[in-house]
């Protein structure tokens, strides 16, 4: 696939991905806006409802205040004058209707016993107990005004209750009550329908709602209703949908629910608010249209950018790359005269410059190869003449090698004899050292035994001394015994004489043993001094033996080197003949190389310049080689041969090695030339060519 198609494919792929991302972002943002708009509409509708209900509560409690503070109402309640009270309340009711706009207004006066005193909607019905009402009981208990929704015989009603006082005495309650139809009218400008219901369980109080419409466990407590909305609630609407969020929107309404609290704070009914879907979605649709318009404009800008980018890439990158491909194909076909015309300062321009430099270098290389092929042909003739000189020099080296080999054989036999003598001397020295060591040990053992004898003799001397003392004591005791102890005295005298003779003998033996110990220690000391000298002599003999072995090995290496050199010389002779035949073959290969180089097409002018440079360089090299081969006695050719060049690094490596200890020993003994003539490599066993060169 061409680069332009690849780039177009990449652009289309990026465009498709971007379109998908834009649509995903757009729909996600649209859904977020939709959710936020619905939540905002729910909050606004709830707030409108709360404001309307709170406003109605304030009006209801205010009207109840006016009724409770009216002096005529108080007098009628004290005098039980219902006719006058009816007239007074009618005047007040008409005034309320004119000023507030509320039409369905009901006023109920309750006496202090919480019995009905007067009903504006049923003046002839009075006296029933109203103690079921938590509101009435709370006002009588707290003596404070109250307003809330409560179930009454008319259904669920908003009641504003205010206590009536006469001279700080509680005499009754003024109840200003009514329905919530006005809230429905307040919600209509906001495209919102309103319904409120009483609990079905409160029908025992709100008997008038018995035939009203029902919804789940609730009874409709509203007169002014929208039939369409009521039918929707009773038919398609499911109240359970509002349990999770408190609101739900389908294809017709955005529904909300809430409950009423009575005077005790308990739930007493349900209200439903339904906002038409079109009113909710109007702002959402406007935002959606604006969003997709912005996204469409951004997508169009990106498409335009991709078109301009594609045009830029085709002119700045793809076309110069195609020129480079054509140029490379022409070079591959052998046409070195082609040129690439790209004048840019970016990486593409650098690539074009590199291709131009490659073409110029390739021209120069091809031209040099062509010229080199011609020079190789002429050089092959010089190689042929040099090979003849090498053959003659190899013959002379072979004869010299044979003479050196015979001399090395004689030298090797002498070294072998010295080696054998040194080995015998070493064996004798080792045996002598061992015997001296044994004599030294025997002398030390003798000295130790004499010391032990001296210790034992000293013990005998002590025993003789004690025996003498005992004999003296016995003689003293015999003298004391008189005649009876004469025989014991004679025995004691003999014992004393034996003790004295034993003591004298022990002293003489002790002196002799001490003298013997001193002589044995002196002999042991002299033998100890002789042992290191004998060991040193044995060590020197061992070093002489090792040096002789190394010299023998070195002689073998030198002899082997001479034999190998003789073989190399003979190989050089045969190689020189092969070199002559290879020179002829080289000439043929040079001709084939020139034919191969003709594959490339060159500029005549550039080819002439490169040819002149290459010819002068190669001619100088051949002249230099000719001078080295013309030196007398074959020395020049010898130094430039591959064998000589290969031998030089080995010789330098061997000269840099440290000489072993036995080599230094032979240098001290006058064998200076033998130590430098070869390198005795006892452990490696490798032939040392530099030894022969030095020799």
Note whether 400 and 277 are same-domain residues: no
Interval 127-180: pLDDT, tens = 999 998 999 999 999 999 999 999 988 889 999 999 999 988 999 999 998 888
Furthest-apart CA atoms within the chain: distance in Å: 187
Q: Does residue 367 lie within any of the structural domains?
A: no
Within 10 angstroms of residue 344's Cβ, the number of other Cβ atoms is 14
Read off φ and ψ for residue 215, nearest 5 degrees.
Answer: -145, 110
Q: Does residue 339 lie within any of the structural domains?
A: no
In this structure, are residues 175 and 107 in contact, taking their beta carbons and an 8 Å threshold?
yes
Residues linked to residue 151 through DSSP beta bridges, in sequence order: 156
Q: Which long-range contacts (C-beta less than 8 Å, at least 24 apart) are formed by 508-517?
A: 509/453, 509/457, 510/454, 510/457, 510/458, 510/461, 513/450, 513/451, 513/453, 513/454, 513/457, 514/454, 516/450, 517/447, 517/450, 517/451, 517/454
Range of the domain at 90: 12-289
Half-sphere exposure of 291 (CA within 13 A, CB side): 19
Q: Which of 289, 311, 333 is the last residue of a domain?
A: 289
Within 10 angstroms of residue 62's Cβ, the number of other Cβ atoms is 16
How many domains in the chain?
Answer: 2
Note whether 425 and 547 are same-domain residues: yes
Q: Which of 271, 289, 307 is the last residue of a domain?
A: 289
Interval 434-475: pLDDT, tens = 777 777 777 777 777 777 787 777 788 788 788 878 878 887
Predicted confidence at residue 625, as pLDDT, reads 47
Read off φ and ψ for residue 275, nearest 5 degrees.
Answer: -95, 130
Domain with residue 547: its CATH number is: 1.10.287.950
Nearest of 37, 40, 36, 25 to residue 292 by alpha carbon: 25
Note whether 272 and 415 are same-domain residues: no
Domain with residue 97: its CATH number is: 3.30.450.20
How far apart (Å, rounded) are the C-alpha atoms in residues 514 and 340? 118
Interval 356-403: pLDDT, tens = 788 788 878 878 887 887 788 777 777 777 777 777 777 777 777 777
Predicted confidence at residue 632, as pLDDT, reads 40
In this structure, are residues 554 and 412 in contact, taking their beta carbons and an 8 Å threshold?
no
Q: Which residues fall within 8 angstroms of residue 158, CB to CB, at 6 or more apart?
A: 56, 57, 60, 147, 148, 149, 177, 178, 179, 180
Half-sphere exposure of 270 (CA within 13 A, CB side): 19
Note whether 282 and 403 are same-domain residues: no
Q: Does residue 328 lie within any of the structural domains?
A: no
Half-sphere exposure of 171 (CA within 13 A, CB side): 17
Q: Which of 259, 289, 319 is the last residue of a domain?
A: 289
How far apart (Å, rounded) are the C-alpha atoms in residues 668 and 691? 20
Q: Does residue 253 lie within any of the structural domains?
A: yes
What is the average pLDDT score of the chain?
A: 77
Helices assigned H by DSSP within 175-276: 181-187, 227-235
SS3 480: helix
Per-block mean pLDDT, blocks of 10 residues, the chain (695 long): 70 81 78 84 92 92 92 92 90 77 79 92 90 92 94 90 93 92 90 92 87 89 90 86 84 91 89 89 78 82 82 76 79 78 75 80 81 77 74 73 76 78 77 76 76 78 81 80 76 79 80 77 75 78 80 80 79 75 77 75 55 44 44 42 42 42 40 37 39 34
- Percent composition of the chain: helix, strand, coil (DSSP 3-state, to 5): 75, 10, 15
Q: Does residue 38 lie within any of the structural domains?
A: yes
Q: Does residue 202 lie within any of the structural domains?
A: yes
In this structure, are residues 172 and 162 in contact, taking their beta carbons and an 8 Å threshold?
no
Burial class of residue 54, CB neighbours in 10 A (0-12, 13-18, 19+): exposed
Q: Does residue 376 lie within any of the structural domains?
A: no
Within 10 angstroms of residue 112's Cβ, the number of other Cβ atoms is 15
Q: Does residue 612 lie within any of the structural domains?
A: no
Tokens standing for residue 450: 């004499």
Predicted confidence at residue 677, as pLDDT, reads 37
Q: Which helix (H) or strand (E) holds 163?
A: strand 155-166
Note whether 281 and 405 are same-domain residues: no
Q: What is the secondary structure of 232-253 as a DSSP string?
A: HHHHT--GGGGTTTSEEE-SSE
| 485 DSSP assignment | G
Burial class of residue 141, CB neighbours in 10 A (0-12, 13-18, 19+): exposed
């Amino acid at each position: 696939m061409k680069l332009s198609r690849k780039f177009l494919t990449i652009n289309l792929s990026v465009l498709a991905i971007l379109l998908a991302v834009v649509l995903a972002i757009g729909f996600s943002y649209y859904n977020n806006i939709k959710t936020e708009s619905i939540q905002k509409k729910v909050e606004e509708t709830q707030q409108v409802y709360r404001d309307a209900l709170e406003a109605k509560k304030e009006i209801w409690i205010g009207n109840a205040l006016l009724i409770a503070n009216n002096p005529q109402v108080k007098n009628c309640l004290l005098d039980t004058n219902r006719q006058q009270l009816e007239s007074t309340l009618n005047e007040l009711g008409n005034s309320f209707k004119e000023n507030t706009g509320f039409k369905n207004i009901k006023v109920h006066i309750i006496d202090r016993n919480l019995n009905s005193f007067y009903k504006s909607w049923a003046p002839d019905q009075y006296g029933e107990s109203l103690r079921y009402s938590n509101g009435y009981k709370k006002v009588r208990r707290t003596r404070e005004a109250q307003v809330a929704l409560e179930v009454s015989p008319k259904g669920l009603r908003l009641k504003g209750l205010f206590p009536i006082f006469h001279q700080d005495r509680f005499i009754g309650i003024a109840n200003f009550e009514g329905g919530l139809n006005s809230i429905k009218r307040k919600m209509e400008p906001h495209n919102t329908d309103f319904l409120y219901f009483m609990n079905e369980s409160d029908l025992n109080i709100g008997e008038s709602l018995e035939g009203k419409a029902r919804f789940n466990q609730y009874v409709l407590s509203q007169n002014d209703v929208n039939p369409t909305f009521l039918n929707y609630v009773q038919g398609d609407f499911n109240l359970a949908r509002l349990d999770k969020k408190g609101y739900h929107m389908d294809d017709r309404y955005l529904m909300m629910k809430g409950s009423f609290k009575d005077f005790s704070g308990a739930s007493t009914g349900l209200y439903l608010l339904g906002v038409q879907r079109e009113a909710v979605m109007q702002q959402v649709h406007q935002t959606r249209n604006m969003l997709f318009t912005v996204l469409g404009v951004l997508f169009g800008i990106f498409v335009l950018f991709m078109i301009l980018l594609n045009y830029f890439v085709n002119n700045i990158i793809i076309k110069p790359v195609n020129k480079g491909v054509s140029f490379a194909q022409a070079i591959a076909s052998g046409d070195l005269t082609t040129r690439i015309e790209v004048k840019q300062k970016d990486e593409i321009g650098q690539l074009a410059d590199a291709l131009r430099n490659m073409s110029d270098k390739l021209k120069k290389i091809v031209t040099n190869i062509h010229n080199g092929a011609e020079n190789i042909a002429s050089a092959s003739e010089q190689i042929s003449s040099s090979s003849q000189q090498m053959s003659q020099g190899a013959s002379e080296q072979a004869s010299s090698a044979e003479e050196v080999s015979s001399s090395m054989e004689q030298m090797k036999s002498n070294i072998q004899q010295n080696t054998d003598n040194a080995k015998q001397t070493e064996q004798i020295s080792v045996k002598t050292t061992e015997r001296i060591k044994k004599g030294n040990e025997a002398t030390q053992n003798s000295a130790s035994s004499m010391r032990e004898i001296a210790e034992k003799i000293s013990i005998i001397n002590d025993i003789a001394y004690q025996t003498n003392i005992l004999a003296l004591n016995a003689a003293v005791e015999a003298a004391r015994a008189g005649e009876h102890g004469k025989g014991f005295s004679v025995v004691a005298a003999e014992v004393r004489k034996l003790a004295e003779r034993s003591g004298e003998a022990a002293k003489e033996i002790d002196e002799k043993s001490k003298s013997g110990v001193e002589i044995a220690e002196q002999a042991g000391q002299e033998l100890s001094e002789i042992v290191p000298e004998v060991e040193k002599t044995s060590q020197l003999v061992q070093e002489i033996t090792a040096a002789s072995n190394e010299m023998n090995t070195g002689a073998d290496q030198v002899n082997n080197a001479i034999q190998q050199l003789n073989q190399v010389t003979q190989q050089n002779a045969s190689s020189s003949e092969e070199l002559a035949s290879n020179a002829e073959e080289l000439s043929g290969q040079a001709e084939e190389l020139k034919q191969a180089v003709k594959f490339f097409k060159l500029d005549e002018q550039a080819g002439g310049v490169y040819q002149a440079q290459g010819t002068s360089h190669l001619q100088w090299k051949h002249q230099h080689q000719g001078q080295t081969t013309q030196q007398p006695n074959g020395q020049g050719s010898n130094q430039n041969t591959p064998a000589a060049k290969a031998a030089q690094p080995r010789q330098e490596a061997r000269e840099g090695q440290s000489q072993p200890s036995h080599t230094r020993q032979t240098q001290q003994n006058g064998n200076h030339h033998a130590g430098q003539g070869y390198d005795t490599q006892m452990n490696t066993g490798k032939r040392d060519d530099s030894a022969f060169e030095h020799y």
